[in-house]
Chains A and B, each alone.
Chain A
Amino acid sequence: MSDVAYEAVIGLEIHVQLSTRTKMFCGCELGFGEPPNTRTCEVCLGLPGALPVANAEAIHFGLMIGLALDCDLAPRSIFHRKNYFYPDLPKGYQISQYDEPLCRGGKLGDVRIHRVHLEEDAAKLIHLGTSGRLHGSEASIVDFNRGGTPLAEIVTEPDLRSAEDAGEWLRLLRTTLRRLGVSDVNMEEGSLRCDANISIRPAGTHELGTKTELKNMNSFRFIERGIRAEIARQEALLRAGEPVVQETLHFDPRTEAITSLRSKEEAHDYRYFPEPDLTPVGITDAMLERARAAMPELPAARAERFERELGLPADGARLLAWRTELGDYFEAALADDGDDAPEPQALANWLNELVARIETDDPAESQVQPRALASLAAMVAGKRVTQNAAKQVLDRLVAEGGDPAAIVEAEGLGAIGAGDELEPVVQQALDANPDVVAKLSAGDMKPIGVIVGHVMRETRGRADGGAVTRIVRQKLGL
């Protein structure tokens, strides 16, 4: 019994704040970090008599998401009221979609999409601690700036099987959404939030186990760790012969502890009913056409193109395409019509070198212009600078920007080829290592690295390793 292998079944619910200019149902501008309650009006404060009017751009973004996820777009969808009391919910209900959402079905990568719907975000509760004004009890304040921000909720089918899969798929989703330009998809700022529904079952079986819902994990790292921890918790329960209880859970990334989020007495009954203040959304041909026209090339298609047109290996192509900013930088560098266009694979390698050297996710935010990286790659390919020297040039570019050719010139980092300049240095290296020369002469080529290393040291990496080997062979008559 105890050696049964378990398999996890994971579905995700992702809330994405849409980057429209204004809120879902009123004209208040979206913001981030403004003083509390400075981006509010009668509608998003739920003042008596105020009425919502849906933001056309949010619907447009919703359609774009639906198209990107290959969903069926509902010709007619309606908003519902989800009723519950909470201080961050000014009307006592959230306007959401229920049984007639904007999009149904669909697929991204290997994961099927259940539905995509639109709703409004809740406000922000800020815990104050003990306040004298409320008889010494715990108090909070409510800031309605965020309240009413448009959200798209994306619900997947339970097609994921591990924490790592979930993390990787979520990255693909994030890139897709970023590529669409419909959201900042920033988990730290809360514009992308993820809940996971998790159950486990004996591997090879098909019946679903009891699922738990892990709430609001706010970074990719926490999501993977949270899911791993919950899978482990469920496994431990089952192995101990105890049942998994269906509940909503919170993962504390500091302690790795998983705790139940809702008190049992609060059995939720949201009393959904059609929102009478809003009329149905009917998707017209013009709306569809506009959404289609706005679709950029999506990561999956881009990766395929990188493979097909540029000859990149599948892994490398995905690496670039699934991170929009890398793909964009890569293509910008590739498109550079400098004297000599870089070779795609070499450029991709140099882009990796660059990414490893910068702190931002987006290389476009670094000092290194795509044009500079392209010309550096071309200089290496043309053997005008060695790999090693080029890395030094890149360090300089990262630190202060500029033109690689100029840096090579100014620093004297140009490659030393097979000519007169290199020969004496090689000779010097041979002279300094008679024991190595003896081995080489005896046909044991292994220690040639010593000679090459010596030359590299002397030339600060500017020498071409192949040329050094050639000169050694020549000199020793090998």
Chain B
Amino acid sequence: MTDAVALTAAQAAAAVEAGDLDPRELFEAYRARAAADDLNAFVWVAGEAPGEPASGPLAGVPLGVKDLFCTEGVPSQAGSKILEGYRPPYTASVVARLAEAGAPLLAKTNQDEFAMGSSNENSAFGPVLNPWDRSRVPGGSSGGSAAAVAAGLVPWALGTDTGGSIRQPAALCGIVGLKPTYGAVSRFGMIAFASSLDQAGPLTRDVTDAALLFRHMTGRDPRDSTSIGLPEEVRLPSARRLDGIRLGVPDDLTGEGVEPGVMAAFEAALDRARELGATVERVALPHADYGLSAYYVLAPAEASSNLARFDGVRYGLRVEADDLLTMYTRTRHDGFGAEVKRRIMLGTYALSSGYYDAYYGRAQRVRTKIAEDFKAAFDAVDFVVTPTSPGVAFELGAKTGDPLSMYLNDYFTVPMSLAGIPAISIPCGLSEGLPVGLQLAGPAFSENRVLDAAFALEQALGFDGSGARQ
């Protein structure tokens, strides 16, 4: 029983199923760890185990949930001051679905405000520390979920990914993070950042856990018009080899600004893939290099509109004023953090009269080109692989003064988001003692194949994540 928290989520579920583990004890063990968290990974931790022991295929293995998922009666602030004290009257579809499958809510995890950030330094609750090195960031925006899973404070967690917000923190914390195909998971109840890009996904200790959690997340939800589910059931991965698998390394995406240690770990992982039978070739994604620019038009534009509802009228913070305009502008000034304000401004500008065609309209066309690039690439290769992030976890505060350098963290992850295709980050080694992530992306709805390939590589790489657990 003492090593219950050492088990992966899938192992814990199996132990509960086999009668070797009491799910209430499992919950309590994690609850105690989460309550003692000193990484600032959580914004809320359950006071006690749910009254009814959970049943269902997930066997009561408790779940960390990013703050931006609405949870009925439980604080849901998306890391923002403007939603101070907000407790929604309903629960996000994916959280409800997982609860039904037997994964009870253990804690809400810290995040960059409204998922805008790559370091988790933009949270109203303060930054999250990287368990590998507490002077460093865990990545973002799902930084709390990533740090908590890496440190063993939760068995697994939900994050969301708009331009890399699952994959990048997973990479920086040495865990697995899957961004599913856009539409695979319901967005209903997820406090929106950029609606056409946001997707919920698992952050887990290994690929098997990611597959298990994802299996119970995906599905069409009549309350989300853009959800479609997966055409097939999610299988637990079992591949040991990569024979005949063609991995494509994009010509147009590597090189620029990647830390040598990251590149070395990435190359070593590719060697492992070759040993497993894969071929590695160059693949052209001629427009991918424009992804970041298009992304920083589209995402802020949608965000500027999505965040208009925070106006001090129906919920959240209000700064009282005698007239409506002042109430609006002061409420939003005081309620939003600097990065959120920056993106609202950027997005409003990009949509405003006279600029739409040059910015939003063009960015949507770049998006078309990037999606076409990937389609063409997947005619030639099975998967596209890149480093997840150009660098390892950086020092707290290192990039807060320079938004653009922060944005460049998303360089490798944004093109897949724009194309809406699934991509997974798995840890592939260390650089300067810090984890490096490898990103593997496949065609839309190819999650089963992505998970299989990632599993085979994971087994061969044998990454040791214990450096983050105490």
Contacts and interface: CB of A to CB of B under 8 A. Distances in A.
B251 interface: no
Nearest to B69: A49
B378 interface: no
B226 A277 contact: yes
B351 A47 contact: no
Interface stretch (B135-143, B184-192, B282-290, B396-404): B184-192
A97 to B, nearest CB: 15
Contact of B352 (A49, A50, A52, A269): A269
Nearest to A54: B225
A51 B314 contact: no
Contacts of B348: 271
B448 interface: no
Interface string B70-99: 100000101000010010111010000000
Nearest to A53: B225
A45 interface: yes
B363 to A, nearest CB: 11
Interface residues of A, number: 31
A271 B225 contact: no
B309 A276 contact: no
A100 B78 CA distance: 34
Contacts of B313: 87, 90, 142
Contacts of B78: 48
B223 interface: yes
A81 B309 CA distance: 13
B305 interface: yes
A45 B195 CA distance: 18
B463 interface: no
Interface in A40-87: 42, 45-54, 81, 83, 85, 87
Contact of B309 (A90, A269, A272, A277): A90
Interface in B314-328: 314-315, 320, 322-324, 328
A10 to B, nearest CB: 27
B467 interface: no
A46 B315 CA distance: 10
A93 B303 CA distance: 12
A80 to B, nearest CB: 11
A92 interface: yes
Interface in A83-130: 83, 85, 87, 90-93
A49 B360 contact: no
B225 A52 contact: yes
A206 interface: no
B309 A48 contact: yes
Contact of B353 (A45, A269, A276): A269
A254 interface: no
Nearest to A278: B225
Contacts of B69: 49
| Among A51, A54, A134: residue with most chain B CB under 10 A | A51
Contact of A135 (B192, B307, B311, B322): B322
Contacts of B92: 49
| Among A85, A272, A279: residue with most chain B CB under 10 A | A85
B224 interface: yes
Given A42-B89, A48-B86, A49-B189, A273 B225 contact: no
A83 B349 CA distance: 13
Contact of B188 (A45, A51, A269): A51
Contacts of A83: 304-305, 308, 351
B222 interface: yes
Interface string A253-289: 0000000000000000101110011110000000000
Contact of B323 (A50, A52, A54, A137): A137
A148 B315 CA distance: 19
B191 to A, nearest CB: 4
Contacts of A134: 320, 322
| Among A142, A271, A278: residue with most chain B CB under 10 A | A271
A28 to B, nearest CB: 13
A137 B322 contact: yes
Contacts of B450: none
B324 A87 contact: yes
B225 A42 contact: no
A47 B192 CA distance: 11
Given A45-B314, A91-B308, A276-B302, A50 B189 contact: yes
Nearest to A46: B309
A137 B324 CA distance: 10
A276 B196 contact: yes
Given A92-B305, A271-B348, A276 B188 contact: no
B301 interface: yes
A226 to B, nearest CB: 28
Interface in B257-314: 301-302, 304-305, 307-311, 313-314
Interface in A148-182: none
Interface string B174-210: 0000000000000111111011100000000000000
Given A93-B305, A277-B195, A51 B224 contact: yes
B322 A42 contact: no
A273 B309 contact: no
B351 A53 contact: no
A273 to B, nearest CB: 6
A42 B92 CA distance: 11
A45 to B, nearest CB: 6
Nearest to B188: A51
A47 B322 contact: no
Nearest to B301: A273
B352 to A, nearest CB: 6
A78 B299 CA distance: 20
Contact of A271 (B196, B223, B309, B351): B351
A81 B351 CA distance: 11
Nearest to B183: A279
B89 A53 contact: no
16 contacts: A47-B70, A48-B88, A48-B315, A49-B190, A51-B187, A51-B224, A52-B225, A54-B225, A87-B313, A90-B313, A92-B305, A271-B304, A271-B348, A271-B356, A273-B302, A278-B226
Interface of A: 42, 45-54, 81, 83, 85, 87, 90-93, 134-135, 137, 142, 269, 271-273, 276-279
Given A48-B86, A85-B328, 12 more contacts: A46-B314, A47-B314, A48-B76, A48-B83, A49-B76, A49-B190, A50-B189, A92-B309, A273-B305, A277-B225, A277-B226, A278-B226
4 nearest CB pairs, A to B: A92-B308, A276-B196, A276-B195, A271-B351
